[in-house]
């Protein structure tokens, strides 16, 4: 079964409200805790979520006719890193209360906007980590949802808040993230019919498989009993893998591979985020 269209439009609002509730409940010391996002503290991740929401509203809602620059992958990474660093540095002047109020405003406006979008229109922004030059809007919306979810999860992990209340949000994140797998394998050649099964356990459990048809890799949803290689992991390990938040040791202990182990190596480098 081909990867499904995932409609995340109505999930932005409840997810953002749960994040906002968490921000209101955090102690002053929580804002200074280190997160899994490299050098960023909790306050930096929250500032980044505000920035990405405002950027989306500015570029997509308010300036839909403005041409976007054509950039190489390296140039895009450099631009995004610069934008992120500039905003986080400026937001260091803001208090937790101001950050919370700004997030409440920006996240509500973002939810209003995405709820108005046509799933099947051409996306304003192609999903580059899926290898696409042009994307359907549902995938771009889903990419934005995964950004909100995984940064919110970084904060929750840093303060010991546990997972989000709705496991279907994570299942949607994983369904979207699986679009990165064929692009990750784009330079891997194999015999036609070679398959890689990905099995995720936990509250957001699911199964997917990639297959080489002699020219390219395709990705489908569903269980595959006789795969050439099978990689099994928990949903917690899976999202951290796709969002570049696992150490080599965590990868080795958290991903169980059966069959041709070499075929699973590119999967361990799959990322559904620009890095």
For the chain, the domains span 9-165, 180-269
pLDDT number for residue 275: 65
**For residues 180-186, average pLDDT:** 97
pLDDT at 68 over 80: no
What tens digit of pLDDT does each residue of 221-253 get? 999 889 999 999 999 999 999 999 999 899 989
pLDDT at 21 over 90: yes
**For residues 198-212, average pLDDT:** 98
The stretches of the chain forming alpha helices (DSSP H) are 12-25, 42-56, 73-91, 96-115, 137-159, 167-177, 180-184, 235-242, 248-254, 261-264
134 within 8 A of 123, measured Cβ to Cβ: yes
pLDDT number for residue 1: 72
First to last CA, the chain: 30
> CA 98, CA 103: separation in Å to the nearest integer?
8
pLDDT at 208 over 70: yes
> CA 171, CA 194: separation in Å to the nearest integer?
26
**For residues 57-86, average pLDDT:** 87
- 135-142's contacts with Cβ under 8 Å and 24+ in sequence apart are 136/5, 138/5, 138/6, 138/7, 138/8, 139/6, 139/176, 139/179, 141/8, 141/9, 141/114, 141/117, 142/6, 142/8, 142/172, 142/175, 142/176
What tens digit of pLDDT does each residue of 31-66 get? 999 999 988 999 999 999 999 999 999 999 998 877
pLDDT at 115 over 70: yes
> CA 48, CA 54: separation in Å to the nearest integer?
10
**221, containing H or E segment:** strand 217-221
What tens digit of pLDDT does each residue of 117-173 get? 999 999 998 999 999 999 999 999 999 999 999 999 999 999 999 999 999 999 999
Topology of the domain comprising 9-165:
1.20.120
pLDDT number for residue 70: 78
pLDDT number for residue 87: 96
Q: Which CATH architecture has domain 180-269?
A: 2-Layer Sandwich (3.30)
> CA 271, CA 253: separation in Å to the nearest integer?
19
């Amino acid at each position: 079964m081909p990867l499904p269209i995932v409609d995340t439009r109505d999930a932005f609002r409840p997810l953002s409200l749960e994040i906002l509730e968490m921000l209101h409940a955090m102690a002053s010391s929580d804002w200074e805790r280190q997160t899994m996002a490299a050098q960023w503290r909790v306050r930096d991740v929250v500032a980044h979520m505000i920035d990405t929401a405002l950027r989306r509203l500015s570029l997509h809602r308010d300036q839909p006719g403005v041409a976007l620059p054509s950039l190489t992958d390296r140039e895009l990474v450099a631009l995004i890193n610069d934008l992120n660093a500039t905003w986080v540095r400026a937001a260091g002047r803001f208090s937790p209360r101001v950050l919370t109020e700004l997030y409440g405003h920006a996240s509500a406006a973002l939810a209003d906007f995405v709820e108005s979008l046509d799933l099947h229109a051409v996306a304003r922004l192609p999903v580059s980590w899926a290898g696409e030059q042009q994307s359907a809007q549902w995938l771009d919306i889903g990419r934005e949802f995964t950004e909100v979810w995984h940064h919110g999860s970084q904060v929750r992990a840093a303060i010991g808040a546990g997972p989000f209340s709705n496991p279907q949000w994570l299942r949607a994140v994983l369904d979207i993230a699986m679009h990165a797998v064929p692009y990750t394998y784009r330079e891997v050649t194999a015999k036609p019919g070679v398959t890689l099964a990905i099995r995720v356990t936990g509250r957001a459990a699911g199964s997917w498989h990639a297959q080489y048809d002699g020219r390219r890799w395709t990705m489908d949803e569903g269980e595959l009993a006789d795969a050439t290689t099978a990689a099994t992991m928990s949903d917690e390990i899976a999202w951290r893998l796709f969002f570049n938040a696992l150490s080599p040791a965590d990868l080795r202990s958290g991903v169980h591979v059966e069959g041709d182990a070499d075929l699973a190596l590119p999967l361990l480098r799959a990322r559904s985020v620009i890095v």
